[in-house]
Amino acid sequence: MELEAIPGVGAKTAASLRELDDPVATVESGDVAAIARAPGVNEARAARIARGAIRRRHGDDGRVLATDRARELYREAIDLLRERTVTDYAAKRLETFYPSASASRIAEAQSFAADAADRDPDPAVREALADCASLSDPPTVRVRDRCLATADAETLARAEAEVPELSVETVEDARDVSELGRSYASVIVLDESFAGLDVEGDVSVRPDALEAPAETVPERLLAFFAENRDRLEAAAAVHEAAAAAGDPVSGGGPPVALDRLRDALSRLDDDGTIAGDAELDRLTAAVDDLDAAVSTAASVADDRLREAIRERDVTIEGTDFLSLVEQGARVDSLLDRELADEYDAAVDAAREHLADALRLEPEETELAERVFGGDPSFPVDHDESAVSRLRTELSAARDRRAAKLKADLASDLGDLRQPVEELVRDALELDVELAVARFARDFDCTLPEVVEPAGDDDGGEAPPAGFRIEGGRSPLLDVDFPDVEPVDYGVSGATLLSGVNSGGKTSTLDLVALVVVLAQMGMPVPAESATVERFEEIHYYAKSQGTLDAGAFEATLRDFGDLVDGADGRLVLVDELESITEPGASAKIIAGILEALDDQDATAVFVSHLAREIRAAADFEVAVDGIEAAGLVDGELRVNRSPKKGHLARSTPELIVEKLADDRGGEFYGDLLEKF
């Protein structure tokens, strides 16, 4: 698959996607988190790319949501689902569900939703999800004590591109390699022609080094795990909470042994260095504390020697004193002659303090002894070259120890790299499933039956399948959902919906649109049961705010002209189109639109107060349903919310006149009532 063939993916985005390990498979999987690992692609963008890939996979090139109001209903449906997510990932992932005209896509999404609806949204699991997030790639780690070396230009370019953490040096012969060995703690030569090379320093010839990045630059893998420590621990907690709730994330358990993962993470510091190794800690502290320890050890020797001099009476014969003066003797000569034993004891104390302070091993103590012990002096002096040698040896030991531990840990973590991706992805996907489960439970949802559009039946035209909703309740109403009255309604063909003002006609249209949109998203719908035709397009026209001027009126007619000239397989919902112009003209226009839709076997519901006039103007038998008011009680309407089939509902004025005729009698009210 060409990445540029995905809707919304241009050359620049495709170039970023190609940075992924397997870009085509990743994009086709619809895995938002994995797609978002591409440079410059955030999760919102990744969701759009995933949606485009899904469309392409199902050959779903149509645009089901054909009007602004239809698109608004979709956003409201998505928002209801997103409100029930915990993670940002899940909120973005839900964007990959959209109203589709593809039977295969709807079936695929319904399969996901069916499994999701069976989930138990346990509070402990949702609490664990609060800290869960997609994995991120850490900034490139620069490793300055190790380098790669090669004599080949192509290898040089490849190494610089694939291992940006290390410097890549050009060499021509063994002398160049030897010089690098003196400059770097470790040198890896990439050319097989250098095999058998014997030079001073930590130099190895590894032609396969670029194929084994975990060995060549273990810091990369360690930085990844250090960067994502909190995310990994959170994902592990999600898996454990779900298992404890009796609803594990996956049937086979976590893709990685959680104890093994936690053990590996415990050996890693937040900055990607090794943690918890006593020997490495000792060597690191010894290097860091060396100068301070030498200074303190010298002070210990000075204190010992000062005390010895203070307690000792030194007698010098006159001839001896004259001889010392003539020889230009200094205090060190006096110390050597008169306090040799005391001086040796002071030096021993300094050596002992240095070894204890740095916790040196026996083989290191020998180097430490050379720091003190030169010609007698006061204050006691130390050998800076010996200090430098000790520092070099301790640093080398530290680096060797760290390198070995990094390599060992990287080897352990290398096996976990792919499983932890699955661990986190599964946890995040669980949040998506739990959002669907909560939506289904909060609004008493069921999975609808999505049926194919009706076609020829024994040579005759079958009526459109339309929709059928039983016990539908809209979560979009501004009342508590348990207080919403259920609605039963079904339509096949072009139908007028009549009813009193504030009787729920617009709410019924919203419910129908919401159920159809959710059904073609593959999601559960808020109803006891529902059957929905797989519509190619959904056209929903909201009520116009007042009479339109000539230009706007003409534009509206153009919209309906395009509508009736379009393809078959559409759902058309229109709320009080008569408000766009004079009632007489409106009735004729609506009648003409209904005639065209009837010829196309479209499913249409037009809410109108002009049902009589429209039926009179139409050249076919227009179906009329009505939301019937039971009457006025204490000035308030009592309404049967479910539309009554084949019934022209009475208007609010008619009900008021009827009430006055009953209450007050008289010829006037009776005559008025007869006019209805």
Q: What are phi and psi of 428, to 5 degrees?
A: -70, -40
Q: What's the pLDDT at 30?
A: 77
Q: Residue 379: which pLDDT band, with cuts at 50, 70 and 90?
A: confident
Structure tokens at 644: 């009554």
Task: Count Cβ atoms within 10 A of the Cβ of residue 435 and give its class: 0-12 exposed, 13-18 middle, 19 or more buried.
Answer: buried
Q: Are 562 and 529 in contact (CB under 8 A)?
A: no
The string of pLDDT tens digits covering residues 50-75 is 888 888 889 888 889 999 999 999 99
SS3 462: coil
Q: What's the pLDDT at 321?
A: 45
Q: Are 557 and 589 in contact (CB under 8 A)?
A: yes
Instruction: Tell me the pairing of strands 603-607 and 487-491.
Output: unpaired
The string of pLDDT tens digits covering residues 226-259 is 999 999 999 999 999 999 999 999 877 899 999 9
Q: What's the pLDDT at 237?
A: 96
Q: Are 135 and 231 in contact (CB under 8 A)?
A: yes
Q: What's the pLDDT at 111?
A: 96
Q: What's the pLDDT at 365?
A: 87
Q: What is the DSSP letter of 196?
A: T
* Res. 621: pLDDT tops 60: yes
Distance of alpha carbon 482 from alpha carbon 500, whole angstroms: 24
Q: What's the pLDDT at 463?
A: 61
Q: What's the pLDDT at 342?
A: 78
Q: How far is CA 402 from CA 145, 355, 408, 463, in A?
A: 12, 22, 10, 77
Q: How far is CA 592 from CA 204, 509, 588, 597, in A?
A: 86, 21, 6, 9
Question: Mean of the pLDDT values across residues 568-588?
Answer: 82
Instruction: Tell me the pairing of strands 487-491 and 467-472.
Output: antiparallel
Q: What's the pLDDT at 558?
A: 79
Q: Considering the chain, what is the average pLDDT of its residues? A: 86
Say which residue the tokens 């991120």 belong to. 136
Task: Count Cβ atoms within 10 A of the Cβ of residue 274 and give its class: 0-12 exposed, 13-18 middle, 19 or more buried.
Answer: buried
Say which residue the tokens 């534009």 belong to. 555
Q: Chain-centre distance of CA 443, in angstroms?
A: 27
SS3 212: coil
* Res. 327: pLDDT tops 70: no
Q: What's the pLDDT at 555?
A: 72
The string of pLDDT tens digits covering residues 339-369 is 677 778 888 888 899 999 999 998 888 888 8
Q: What's the pLDDT at 145?
A: 86
Provide the residue type at 297 as one letter: A
Stronger pLDDT, 631 or 391, i.e. the higher one: 391
The string of pLDDT tens digits covering residues 33-44 is 888 888 888 888
The string of pLDDT tens digits covering residues 252-286 is 789 999 999 999 999 999 888 888 889 999 999 99
The string of pLDDT tens digits covering residues 479-520 is 999 999 999 999 999 999 988 777 789 999 999 999 999 999
